[in-house]
Structure 1
Amino acid sequence: MSKPLYYPKGWRAGPQRMTGKFYHDERHATYVERNARALGPELIVNGSFSDGTGWTLSAGWSITGGQLVATAAAADSAAFPTVGVLTAGKSYEIRMACTSVSAGGWKLLLEGGLNVYGDITAAGTFVARVPANTSGAIYIWANSPLTATFDNVSVREIFG
């Protein structure tokens, strides 16, 4: 019995629809995006916030119930991985979910001050592909007194 085929969202079966952007990967019986860049291993320790380890937290920030929580966190306070994950000159895919924002705004910064996302005041899933100009950490930064929750932070190097 052959394996079922899985198609990218919005695509129908049939070679005429899959040519161009996607190619058929016989080994995994799926379609794969052409020119997709390979991603390295996960660089964030405890990006799922399953326990209280791996992150440095300013006052007003905590890890509770499997999420990073900002509770009236002061402006210019932050949460960041204890171990720096960025190497200057390399590019990264950063993914994270902001599951709620009830007050204030936040931004995602890279070491050296590169502002990846500006003043975010709504929940959502955020994905950025950016080069690192400086080695170090990523920061979830409160722009103003912030009450919000975050989950599933991921940083992976982009190869190719």
Structure 2
Amino acid sequence: MDYEDAAKKLIMYSRGVAKGSIGTAYGMSMGEDPVLEYLSRQDGGMNPSDLAEKLGYTRPRMTRILDSLEAKGYVRRVPDEQDRRRVIAYCTEKGHSYAHDHSSSGVSSLAATLQRMGEHDARELLRGLEVAYSLTYDKDITIGDSDAEKK
């Protein structure tokens, strides 16, 4: 296998699928949608460094994403009440509304693509991505574990 060629194809195809299904629609840049969607499910907000680690972003990238989301009114950052040196990022009402309205359409679009791939290929894709994610971020995860797989 030509791993250089495989890496180039993976980058090209993954960007294309992300853009086509969940990417930059509605004025969001790459990375903003997953951050907003995740942050919208955190009732107590989240420290940007912890958020970056959880989602696999660098701290500088997370800062740029949060800057952009804050400029759009989707996120606000406030000093942590327990430690004034830390900041907590919260999803605003506008952000909650956006995340609710648009994450379901992105998920639905991607689910339709996975369905067209067929169960075998979709499972193989998820398995391969799980392994790559685990190796990249040195984390043990099981994204593909679903109730259907356990049966």
TM-score normalised to structure 2 length:
0.23
Going by fraction, where is helix more abundant, 1 or 2? 2
More RCO (CA 8 Å, sep 6+): 1
User: Whose radius of gyration is greater, 1 or 2?
Assistant: 1
TM-score normalised to structure 1 length:
0.22
